[in-house]
Structure 1
Amino acid sequence: MSCAPAEWQRLLQRALVGHDWAAQGDAQVRIALAGGALTLHWAPGPARQIALLRLPTLHLHFAFDGVPPAERQAFMRHLDLHTHRGGG
């Protein structure tokens, strides 16, 4: 994903409104979903460079535990919609 950690945390907090979740340190959250949980953690990756433009990157890791496939898909769709930014 191309964003800085602070930007990701703002996007994530907005996406998690209405969900039962807790931060576990600076780069991890645990989210209760459909009788199971999702542990999501992130770490900065190398910047991508296009000519003079440098874009920060993040590596994201999703670990679902006891969440049915349909609920996983619904949450990922929800998260995707909340993390989209403008563009052509």
Structure 2
Amino acid sequence: MTPSFVPEKFEHVMGCTSADLLSWLPGALPKAALTVDADHTNCTAILPDGILKIRWSPLPDARIALLTIPRLGVFFEYTGLTDERRHTVQKRFDLGTQRGGG
């Protein structure tokens, strides 16, 4: 769930692989021009009213009994967006990268 206040810079852990995240980015940021670096560890999303830079790096897998969940440390940096707009963009990002469930 997206908090009501999204700071300009923050980090959180996502349960996915780099390939998963890359495949979700166009749907998670539909109105952004996306540029991904050659190493596939950074993305710049140019929005009409600002910029979102995303960096990620693999973390050790989470293990629960026989279940293994890949994890990424993901750092978000917003520039030029208002508090309300950051919340709107992050909420869309969170919905676009959410896995199914019930």
Shift of 1:76: 0.4
DSSP-derived class of the 1:86 partner: coil
DSSP-derived class of the 1:17 partner: coil
Richer in helix (by share): 1
Say if 1:36 and 1:18 are closer, same or farther in 2 by CA, change over 3 A: closer
TM-score by length of structure 2 reads 0.77
Structure with bigger RCO (C-alpha 8 Å, 6+ apart)? 2
DSSP-derived class of the 1:76 partner: helix
Letter paired with 2:63? Q
Please tell me whether the aligned partners of residues 26 and 34 of structure 2 are also in contact (alpha carbons under 8 angstroms).
no
DSSP-derived class of the 1:78 partner: helix
TM-score by length of structure 1 reads 0.88
Give the alignment of 1:4-23 within 5 angstroms: 4-23=17-36
Letter paired with 1:18? K
Alignment length, in residue pairs?
88
Structure 1 residue ranges (4+ consecutive) displaced by more than 6 angstroms after TM superposition: none
Letter paired with 1:40? I
Structure 2 segments unaligned to the other structure (5+ residues): 1-13
Structure 1 segments unaligned to the other structure (5+ residues): none
Could you give the per-residue CA deviations for residues 37-70 of structure 1, whole angstroms, max 9, x where no partner exists? 1111111111000001111000000011121111
Percent identity of equivalent pairs: 32
Question: For the aligned residues, what is the CA RMSD?
Answer: 1.4
How far apart are the structure 2 equivalents of 1:33 and 1:17? 9
In the other structure, the counterpart of 1:76 is 90
